[in-house]
Amino acid sequence: MTKSAFQKKIWDYYKAYGRHDLAWRKTKDPYKILVSEIMLQQTQVSRVIPKYEAFLKAFPTLNDLAKASQSEALSLWQGLGYNRRGLNLWRSAQVIQNDLGGVFPSTSEALDALPGIGPYTACAVVTFWKNKPLVFIETNIRTVYLVSFFDSIKGNVKDSEILEYVSKTVDKENPREWYYALMDYGVMLKVTQKEKNTKSAHYRKQKPFKGSQREIRSGVLKILLQKKGITFSDLEKRIPFSKEKIRLVAEALAKEGFIKKEGHTLSLIQ
């Protein structure tokens, strides 16, 4: 497929069916864009919309988030899952406000240096903020290129190979809208054509939430957001998993900076 034919296909779909009303697509505020990008990782748009609105109502500016306690930020994050993302967002606000004088990093390299941001989010934020034609990939974009340019290949396609096509086909005049269009087209492929990124060398089938460590982590944090402190024995009575699994999760949460241990008592870091 030629570059012009590919671009026309994507633009035509976007003009007809694009999700133009999403709140984060209407803002040029880098903080609000960052919030949306972190929330959207591994989470459906329908779940993000109410959380995005509630989060920004509570913390309308980066300074507001930086002044909030860790527990306040995490309490607003509940329901999105992957609480580490919420913690890293709060930590990034701390770094920007306290170490960078409140000046939001303007390059992808500087953003990538923030806690847990990573190259995709860094490039996406700068592109959507400044309309710069940076090259990046996420799950929906990956789907579009696998279907459009790797149809005859059985599998093991690396992101580095896909990024070559992303670079060659990016619309340099309007990269912001172009990436929105790619994402929306990728969502359509997944919904209507049941496309999955199984050809990708990086594809991993997500394990069910029920019975997973993620469920235990979520349960521990939910309890600690409701109680200032709880003993291991009380925690074990309230979560239907083995003592060994709960203690392993608690140890991991403590190492990651979510909770602190004082003797046998656990509490959320404020």
Residue with tokens 């996420």: 138
Give, for 105, the enclosing helix (H) or strand (E): none
Who contacts 103 (Cβ-Cβ below 8 Å, separation ≥6)? 96
- The catalytic residue among 37, 53, 161, 244 is 37
Give, for 252, the enclosing helix (H) or strand (E): helix 243-256
Give, for 261, the enclosing helix (H) or strand (E): strand 259-262
Determine whether 37 is an active site residue.
yes
Are residues 170 and 145 in contact, defined by beta-carbon separation less than 8 angstroms?
Answer: no
Q: Cα 106 to the chain's mean position, in Å?
A: 19
Residue 211: Cβ within 10 Å count: 12
Which residues are known to be catalytic? Answer: 37
